[in-house]
Structure 1
Amino acid sequence: MGEITYQSFALINPADFLPLLNSSVTRTHLIEHPTFDERAVREWVSGKLSVDNARGCRVRAVVVDGELAGWCGIQYESGAYELAIVLAEKHWGFGIAVFRELMAWARELGHTTVLIHFLHTRREYRFLQKLAKAVYPTEMLGSKFTTYELAVD
């Protein structure tokens, strides 16, 4: 398996995110949104940098063997801290390692509980079901999700 590093969005050229954010495969797992152009991706990166500066949050680009593989983070949304992991299809095998890193960040940041939301079209994850305090359906921005509520130990 390759070497994973986590880099500030400030170190990544915003245009480098375009193939990931506009990938039809990646988009099937995300809330429906318009495709990104260079202006929109610069605004998106700026927004993620603001989230990264917020108390209790951390957002990073995921780099595997020097190649941008996606992004991840702990974000504050709708009154709770949530985990986000978005990886290019080529790098999906790194998801559990990224998840473990996010849980370590959650401990470091002092969180006791975090949520992770998967679009309802995604399969349920047994390893998350075993870890979760609760699993329940949610709706956000007109989309349905399976939400896993995880204790941070």
Structure 2
Amino acid sequence: MMEQLMLAVLLAVLLGLAADFTMAAQIKDNLELPEYYKRPAKILHNICLAESGAMESKLKQCMDGVLHDDREVKCYIHCLFDKVDVIDEATGQILLDRLAPLAPDNDVKDVFNHLTRECGHIKLQDSCDTAYEVAKCYFAAHDQVVKFCHLLMADVTS
């Protein structure tokens, strides 16, 4: 149940990556987000915050496109990917296109496939380092990725 909720949140946020619709604009402008987006995002954030020990002050900076290069932040990012089940257990690669079958339209599928094509090859020995480098690649590959940070940090910044 929790994993499905996490997948639904990630999918909803990535919808904003594929099309510039009202929710994405609200996220970017830091306006009030509907509770049905904030609640599961906050659950995901809190779980990964506790598991990683990352400092919220460093995580909040991702809303400006800054990803801190420290162990806790890297492991927070790994936790996010792990909880939404996009890490290939056999290879350790992060494959966002695993969510493509859940996408409601081809634009969203194209975003998943684009990010996987650009960044899915990244694999380092350490899983937290891999997650961090993949996240950096996502930021470079698609400028709308920052909206995911805005959703995760929505309640933290208010």
TM-score scaled by length of structure 1: 0.28
Higher strand share: 1
Higher helix share: 2
TM-score scaled by length of structure 2: 0.28
